[in-house]
Structure 1
Amino acid sequence: MDNDTEMKRLLFCVFAACAVLASCNKDEEIGVPAARKPVITLDSETAVYKVKAGRDLTISPSYENADDAQYAWTIDGRVVGRGPSYTFRSETTGRVFVGLSVTTAAGSASEELRIDVVELEIPAVSLAGADEGFMVLAGKPLELKPLVAETSLPTTYSWRVDGTEVSAEKDYVFMQEQSGEYTLRFEARNEDGEDAVEFGVRVSTADEMPFSWTFDRTEYNLSSGRAIRLSPLDIESTLDALYTWTIDGEQVQQSSDPAFVFDRTEQGTYAVAVVMTNALMSVEQTLTVHVCPPEGRYYRAKTAASSADCDRVCEFLPAPGQFVNEGYTAATMEEACAVAEKLLAAGSYVSLGGFGGSIVVGFDHSIDNSGGDYDFAVEGNSFESSSEPGIVWVMQDENGDGLPNDTWYELKGSEWGKPETVQDYAVTYYKPASEGMDVQWTDNRGGTGTIDHLAFHEQAYYPAWVEAESYTLRGTRLEARNYDQSGDGTYWILPPYDWGYADNYSSVDRLTNRPNSTAAANANRFRISDAVRFDGQPANLRYVDFVKIQTGINAKCGWLGEASTEVLGVYDCRVSKR
């Protein structure tokens, strides 16, 4: 290689090196690294944080290139923090969006994150009957089974009797040999808080147990020529009771039988009183009975303009249930009736909830008794494997005031008079401590249970327009025949009853033989001639003005929830073109 060629190579290398050095030194001095922008790494991969209301949440990101940095945490454009970490707290639930920016001489970096503020998981407590307290015979057990709202947190329990802890289990059996008044307290506690219920228990000997009775109402209307049975209900601790009945001060019956049949025919208002007397006390209840004009005085004949369908909802009082309060709001009985009217007018269903829930409808004319043919129909949504029978009652407007405040007559169905059919069955429902809890109930035959709150119906199940802490529904209960066909709780069957009930897949009184697999409107037909008196004898009504449908079974079907009669319409068969 000659010297000239070697020199050219050397010069090329020098020029290349200078070019590289010149390029590297364009923005910074040779040997000094470039300043880098800050980098934020949140301590949540999703940038979503969750905190309970009233609790602190500290967010502590990690940073790179953040020497001498300035920090800014913002909510809705307002600066709420100036440090590398931020502690958040809110007393109200909801979503909050937080901005974070970090600034140095080399530039800025920013992130947006979300904070979900959720409710505390306090274990709400509910115990049926605690508001009134309990009474129990000395030496007899009192089983106490409170409901405690489920949470994701470990929960502990404590029972105290007169301040002394007696149990750490959720359920407790109280029993005392010594009569007297006792104060019981149940507490449920977790890390989020606690809830408690405190109540009294009166322990008595047999002769100390207080007498009690109830009356479904204190004022009655009936047409002249008819009779009604008057009787106290849910009688407790009568001992050797004697019942004395008087009409306008004149004694008409004295017996150990509490019931009295009133059959005066002369029109007018009567003061009827019953006095219960036993070895310990005497208790009186006064009733008012109005004997109205004979049947037919307030009959309203249909005209060419008469509507086949019911034209108003007079009362709507469901039992608690998964469809109660769903999709509508009602704070009073008047508002609840308006809601039910709109649902029926739209062809939608009105759910009556568990046992005893009812709806009362009226018409713009009296519905005639044909003497044996079907007179009116009630639309439900029964199908082959789902019958939720509703007992049907009818009433004449006996006093002519346009209100359903007269005498109800039950329509006899296929189950009437059977041993498993219970007349005068009553269930008391208790308002739960929180919306998401089961609704407890007790009945007048010593039974207890719950209307289970299902995850896919989140609203409160207790009717919003019932202000009382408990309410009682009374009627006829049919035998529950529902069963789990699958054996693993996935497929429940509610078999039909032969005839005489609403929302019932009957082969006798349905208007169609279609399977109705889509649970569409599906009518059952009824005869006014099936109306019976209190003693089971025919009521012989020429016509009716009001119809009541009432859930007739007390049953639930696992994940499907409670059995509840649904009503989609009520109409006069001889006016309807259906």
Structure 2
Amino acid sequence: MERFIILVGITLLLACCTKKEPELLPSPPTIILDSPTSIYTTKCGREIIIAPTYENLNDATFEWIDDQGNLLGTDSLLHFSTTEIGRYFITIKATNRGGSTEEELRVDVLALTPPTISLAGVSDGLKVLQHSSLELSPDVASLLETTYSWNINNNEVSTEKKFRFPTEELGEFQVTFSTHNEDGKDSISFTINVCSADEIDFKWAFLQEEYNVSLNRTIRLMPVDIENAFDATFTWRVNGETVQQSEKSAFAFEAETEGKHDVIVEMKNQHLLVTHQLTVNVCPPEGKYKRPASASSSALWNKVYEFLPAPGQFVNENYTATTMEEACDYAQKRMEQTAYVSLGGFGGYIIVGFDHSVENDGDYNLAITGNAFDGSSEPGIVWVMQDENGDGLPNDTWYELAGSEYGKEETWQDYAVTYYRPNATKQPVQWTDNHNQSGSIDYLGAFHKQDYYYPAWVAENSYTLRGTRLQARNYDKSGNGTYWINGSFDWGYVDNFSSSDRLTDDINYNAAPADNHFKISNAKTFDGKDANLKYIDFVKIQVGTNAKSGWLGENSTEVFGVKDFNLLK
């Protein structure tokens, strides 16, 4: 018995002295996302697979949870898709017996970006002369790699973006241009009719049907946009009397007798004869309708008569105008607050008038406010007009105020640019000019997101702006598109950092409203002679360059207001 008790005691003692080893737990999982920024990008309706790398799994379980607390999956990978654009924050949680680890990621779901095509002037088809040159150069907006295809009568003829159409064969051809990227496709179809000389249409246009001019002045009557005239002879008749017959289309009308004069111009070539009738009203001599300034006269312009910008990044932005009247009201309210009105690309203009006639004293007579500073000039040409027929409207004769570039070879008179309405939202606006050039006003969606840069109050699918074009002085100083300089001109232009007509040494780096000053004595007639105007009633400011500066967009004159400087100096 005693021996048994001893054995039991030894056994218990040994048991008490033997310790059980603790169980070793694994480390919690490690999650390494397959995006170094933790941001993933996909498109609407497309699936993205998020596949992290894991360490220390040891039979781990997984939970993918969105920021609303919804469980999206329990696998190591996440197959994610949605039809809603937006940002989605998701947490991946991996758990094993050693604990849990979480990582947050973001999925940006973007809209699909199929390509869109814009090709100017083809909506009604094209007619071209046999053996002429026709290059088709569509604008294709696409953020992705894009393919191209040209088809004539269902036969592919080119896979390049630009295409020179063959004009050797007469007839009508169905042309289709199509483009495709991974998000979708677009196409445009139109007809091209290759015609012989006797089949093709003759075209010309007249800017006015009725002209007003003061007695003893001379104005130019001239059709524009003449096409397919060939061996034309132009005959001008005034009140039934032939006054000019030549190959020249323009006629200098000398206003020698007051009253209404009927003018007929005739174009005749080997194929056809066409005529057009105009009216010239010869008004009383200069001064008949002058309105002298009085003690109550305002130095500021008092009315906006027309506002027609070229397409541009500020057009239609934060305002709605569907008529010229509404557009003028917008411009008037802006300038009354000393806020700028942007005139868009080349040719965009605004016309204002005063409550009195502005005298020409030989010195500076007008002050026009822009916001130029050193390295940022967007020059506008100034035109002036007298109220020659006394009806209070700017429907008489415009005279250009010569600036430092007037008459130079690189300055183009009678320049015209036609702008074409885009066929979809958020597209660039294409243009062609009367020097056989083409281009576009870029859509800058990162900064100006309105649907269209084409003026909403222009009902037509294209419109043409005309004037004097200066050789642009913009350039990329950085060499990589980040630092653009819009160089200045010596004198004579609105929104221009001139060293002389600003009448100040202020460098204006904050782009505050700043004046350029102008002399009525610089007014020129159509043939470059001094107009010798004693006063003016209306002022037109028109964008003078056709240029764009990378991410800054089109060169566009900004106008804050117009003043009679005589009443201020």
TM superposition shift of 1:522: 1.8
Choose the corresponding residue for 2:545, options 532, 540, 553: 553
**3-state SS of 2:392 partner:** coil
Closer, same or farther: CA 89–516 of 1 in aligned 2, 3 Å:
closer
1:119-176 CA distance string (max 9 Å, x none): 4322111011212433333334421111111133x43322111121212222222113
Tell me which residue corresponds to 1:396. 386
Tell me which residue corresponds to 1:337. 328
Distance 2:484 2:465 in 1: 26
Distance 1:199 1:387 in 2: 41
Tell me which residue corresponds to 2:264. 273
Choose the corresponding residue for 1:189, options 166, 175, 180: 180
Distance 1:141 1:47 in 2: 54
Tell me which residue corresponds to 1:538. 530
Give the letter for the 2:363 counterpart.
D
TM superposition shift of 1:494: 2.8
Asked whether the 8 Å contact 1:158–1:169 carries over to 2, the reply is yes
Tell me which residue corresponds to 2:366. 376
TM superposition shift of 1:424: 0.2
Distance 2:346 2:41 in 1: 41
- The correspondence of residues 142-153 of structure 1 with structure 2, limited to 5 A, is 142-152=134-144
Tell me which residue corresponds to 1:226. 217
Asked whether the 8 Å contact 2:135–2:163 carries over to 1, the reply is yes
Tell me which residue corresponds to 1:130. 122
Distance 1:537 1:208 in 2: 42
TM superposition shift of 1:391: 0.7
Say which is worse superposed, 449-458 or 274-283, in terms of deviation.
449-458
**3-state SS of 2:566 partner:** coil
Count, aligned residues = 549
TM superposition shift of 1:484: 3.0
Distance 2:201 2:86 in 1: 51
Asked whether the 8 Å contact 1:397–1:406 carries over to 2, the reply is yes
Tell me which residue corresponds to 1:177. 168
User: What TM-score do you get using the length of structure 1 for normalisation?
Assistant: 0.80
Segments of structure 2 that go 5 or more residues without pairing to the other structure are 16-34, 51-67, 91-104
Q: Percent identity?
A: 54
- The correspondence of residues 48-67 of structure 1 with structure 2, limited to 5 A, is none
Segments of structure 1 that go 5 or more residues without pairing to the other structure are 14-43, 60-75, 99-112
TM superposition shift of 1:48: 10
C-alpha RMSD over aligned residues: 4.5
Are 1:444 and 2:438 matched, yes or no? Answer: no
Distance 1:446 1:266 in 2: 40
**3-state SS of 2:396 partner:** coil
TM superposition shift of 1:87: 11
TM superposition shift of 1:545: 1.3
User: What TM-score do you get using the length of structure 2 for normalisation?
Assistant: 0.81
**3-state SS of 2:174 partner:** strand
Asked whether the 8 Å contact 1:244–1:251 carries over to 2, the reply is no
Choose the corresponding residue for 1:199, options 190, 201, 205: 190
1:165-217 CA distance string (max 9 Å, x none): 21222222211311222121111123443221112222234454432112122
Asked whether the 8 Å contact 2:214–2:255 carries over to 1, the reply is no
Asked whether the 8 Å contact 1:149–1:436 carries over to 2, the reply is no
Are 1:319 and 2:316 matched, yes or no? Answer: no
Are 1:491 and 2:456 matched, yes or no? Answer: no
Tell me which residue corresponds to 2:98. none
Asked whether the 8 Å contact 2:309–2:455 carries over to 1, the reply is no
Asked whether the 8 Å contact 1:122–1:195 carries over to 2, the reply is yes
**3-state SS of 2:333 partner:** helix
Tell me which residue corresponds to 1:63. none
Are 1:351 and 2:342 matched, yes or no? Answer: yes
Say which is worse superposed, 284-293 or 389-398, in terms of deviation.
284-293
Distance 2:407 2:167 in 1: 41
**3-state SS of 1:574 partner:** helix
Are 1:456 and 2:423 matched, yes or no? Answer: no
Tell me which residue corresponds to 1:261. 252
**3-state SS of 1:529 partner:** helix
Distance 1:515 1:339 in 2: 30
Distance 2:548 2:319 in 1: 24
Give the letter for the 2:337 counterpart.
A
Tell me which residue corresponds to 1:242. 233
TM superposition shift of 1:447: 1.1
